[in-house]
Amino acid sequence: MYAGSFAIGHPDRPAFVMASTGAVVTYREHEARCNRLAHLLRAHGLRRLDHYSVFMENNDRYLEACGAGERSGLYYTCVNSYLTADELAYVIDNSESQVLITSRAKREVALAAVANCPKITLVLVVDDPGGADDDRVRDFDSATSDHPTTPLPDEQLGTAMLYSSGTTGRPKGIIRPLPDQSPGEPLALYQFLANLWRYRENMVYLSPAPLYHSAPQAAVNLAIRIGATVIIMERFDPVEYLRLIERYQVTHSQLVPTMFSRMLKLPDEQRTAFDLSSLEVAVHAAAPCPVQVKERMIGWWGPIIHEYYGATEGLGFTACDSEEWLAHRGTVGKVMLGDLHILDDDMNPLPMGVPGTIWFKTATEFEYHNDPQKTRESSSPDGTMTTVGDVGYVDDDNFLYLTDRKTFMIISGGVNIYPQETEDLLITHPSVADAAVIGVPNADLGEEVKAIVQLMPGVAPDAHTVDVLLAFCSAHLSRQKVPRSIDFEAELPRLPTGKLYKRLLRDRYWGEGQNKIV
């Protein structure tokens, strides 16, 4: 979130706009805010390569909370704003953070967490001047107000150290080496992404996702660096998202597949009520998009949809645009960065079209923070390749197809079953709002396939609906992929980033700590 020359050359240009209120922060204001906080962090004793954390909902102070670190040579960790106090305490402690920036909305959870975080020496609370028993707690505005709005005399590049989603286990911090250079010189990774996502000055970027997640973090960071205006949604709403495109003449955006699905299930009169002609590029990531959803989106939005698969850790990328995708139905995209390999469990190459673990040559050096064992597990024996446990295959045209995560594989009667295909099918049924498919204990087979479904409003969670959905699956899937049973939930534990918290679902059937190990 480093504004650089744009704060001088275009001081009155909106850097970002808060969607719900229309509040505008210009590049001049953003630069001043970032500098005040940078001076405070330095005055508090943080030095290059030190760590601090941000635990907030999307709000108008979030970008400066990150931007201050980018000009101070610091690592900043943006924490999932939905974590419990214990989960937050783990991330704060594991990241070795010395300062926590939070908000009035998250204050209660934050203070409960830092009670068990002795490394934290300062807690800054946005929009909350109220007192606290903990003398480390200060109001954000009053703490920063006396510091200069001018840059640090020795500005140094800082960067985010983000954590994995924790959908299958404890979140893991991904840390990259930080070169000693000016913040005006971004990491090479960001220049690559700017070209990949077709960024340009004066574009308008709409951010509908939580700012703690890696994709919007990178996207918004790049947009500010390139002189764009960012529209920040506090939370995603499908109708509001479409309205904002028309209102602000949005040119670029980034979504997750569940957002596509929710827009597609709007009544036609709402879905088609807005002018979307300004939109040039819509990137989607975070999870593979069901084929049927992708086809419908391309039919609606045309050749503006771009799908990217990028592992946060090693950053092995593939990409495709909608025209390529239509010719290669179901793909994630052509390999564009690094050599990608599909290997079996013994690290042997698999033939074209045969699914296996996806390995790629590491594009940027990284490690899991304070977890050398996990770092070793994710690296090939010779250290030249990385995996995050995704499973897929490559066809004869070098298009990558994502099958699933290895961790989610179901082994039933000795047969390996990847549940993503069943989930992708169920989500297309008009009665289904969301779906998860997991393996549950079976005395004879070891595991059996179970679907857990969130129904659309007005659909009864009864035996008739179960029969309808099982018949639907049977008509489109091979027998072993058809669920043996279906349970209903009012809402599935899906993160705002689009990822299912499958660990929570599996714990209900296997018992906490009893999940199988693949």
* Cα–Cα distance, 301 to 169 (Å, whole number): 36
Where along the chain do its domains lie? 23-185, 207-406, 422-510
**Is residue 513 over pLDDT 50?**
no
Q: What are phi and psi of 417, to 5 degrees?
A: -125, 125
Mean pLDDT, range 503-513, rounded to an integer? 73
Q: Where does the pLDDT of residue 330 fall: very low under 50, low under 70, confident under 90, or very high at 90 and above?
A: low
The CATH architecture to which 207-406 belongs is: 3-Layer(aba) Sandwich (3.40)
Tell me the residue ranges of DSSP E strands in 338-398: 340-343, 356-361, 367-368, 385-386, 390-394
Q: Where does the pLDDT of residue 319 fall: very low under 50, low under 70, confident under 90, or very high at 90 and above?
A: low
For the chain, the straight-line distance linking the first and the last C-alpha, in angstroms and rounded, comes to: 39
**Is residue 99 over pLDDT 70?**
yes
pLDDT at residue number 362:
66
Residue ranges of alpha helices (H) inside 100-233 are: 107-114, 140-144, 188-196, 214-225
**Is residue 400 over pLDDT 50?**
yes
* Cα–Cα distance, 437 to 412 (Å, whole number): 13
pLDDT at residue number 3:
86
Mean pLDDT, range 459-477, rounded to an integer? 95
The three-state secondary structure class of 414 is: coil
pLDDT at residue number 516:
33
Q: What is the DSSP letter of 500?
A: B
Mean pLDDT, range 419-427, rounded to an integer? 89
Mean pLDDT, range 486-509, rounded to an integer? 82
Selected residue with higher pLDDT from 304 and 438? 438
Quick one: 81 exposed, middle or buried, by C-beta within 10 A (0-12, 13-18, 19+)?
Answer: buried
Helices 188-196, 214-225: inter-axial angle, 10-degree rounding: 90
Mean pLDDT, range 429-436, rounded to an integer? 93
Per-residue pLDDT reduced to its tens digit, 52-70: 999 999 999 999 999 999 9
Given this chain, do its domains 23-185 and 207-406 carry the same CATH topology? yes
Q: Where does the pLDDT of residue 363 fall: very low under 50, low under 70, confident under 90, or very high at 90 and above?
A: low
Mean pLDDT, range 497-515, rounded to an integer? 69
* Cα–Cα distance, 178 to 317 (Å, whole number): 21
Specify the range with the lowest mean pLDDT, choosing from 121-125, 298-302, 380-384: 380-384
pLDDT at residue number 302:
81
**Is residue 12 over pLDDT 60?**
yes
**Is residue 164 over pLDDT 90?**
no
Place of tokens 């640090």: 152
Strand partners, 158: none
pLDDT at residue number 89:
96
Q: What is the mean pLDDT of the chain?
A: 86
Quote the distance between the C-alpha of residue 405 and its chain's center.
16
Mean pLDDT, range 226-250, rounded to an integer? 97
The three-state secondary structure class of 292 is: helix
Q: Where does the pLDDT of residue 276 fall: very low under 50, low under 70, confident under 90, or very high at 90 and above?
A: very high
**Is residue 517 over pLDDT 70?**
no
How much of the chain, in percent, has pLDDT values that exceed 90? Answer: 52
Category of 4 on φ-ψ map: left (φ > 0), alpha (ψ -120 to 50) or beta: left
Helices 238-248, 257-264: inter-axial angle, 10-degree rounding: 90
- Which is nearest to 185 in space by CA: 37, 314, 7, 5? 5
Q: What are phi and psi of 407, to 5 degrees?
A: -65, -25
> What is the token pair recorded at 32?
């001043």
Contact 58, 66 (CB under 8 A): no
> What's the order of all strands across the beta sheet hosting 485-488?
432-442, 446-455, 485-488
pLDDT at residue number 82:
84
**Is residue 75 over pLDDT 80?**
yes
* Cα–Cα distance, 387 to 317 (Å, whole number): 12
Specify the range with the lowest mean pLDDT, choosing from 299-313, 319-333, 404-418: 319-333
Mean pLDDT, range 246-259, rounded to an integer? 92
Mean pLDDT, range 258-272, rounded to an integer? 91
* 422-510 is a CATH 1.10.287.1770 domain: no
* Cα–Cα distance, 215 to 78 (Å, whole number): 12
The CATH architecture to which 23-185 belongs is: 3-Layer(aba) Sandwich (3.40)
Q: CA distances (Å), 478 to each of 412, 441, 468, in order?
A: 14, 21, 17
Specify the range with the lowest mean pLDDT, choosing from 64-78, 234-248, 390-404: 390-404
Mean pLDDT, range 153-180, rounded to an integer? 83
Selected residue with higher pLDDT from 403 and 224? 224
Q: Where does the pLDDT of residue 23 fall: very low under 50, low under 70, confident under 90, or very high at 90 and above?
A: very high
Q: What is the DSSP letter of 475?
A: H
How much of the chain, in percent, has pLDDT values that exceed 70? Answer: 89
> What is the token pair recorded at 203?
């574009």
Per-residue pLDDT reduced to its tens digit, 377-389: 778 888 788 887 7
Per-residue pLDDT reduced to its tens digit, 180-224: 999 998 887 777 778 778 899 999 999 999 999 888 898 999 999
Contact 71, 35 (CB under 8 A): yes
Mean pLDDT, range 153-162, rounded to an integer? 94
**Is residue 498 over pLDDT 80?**
no
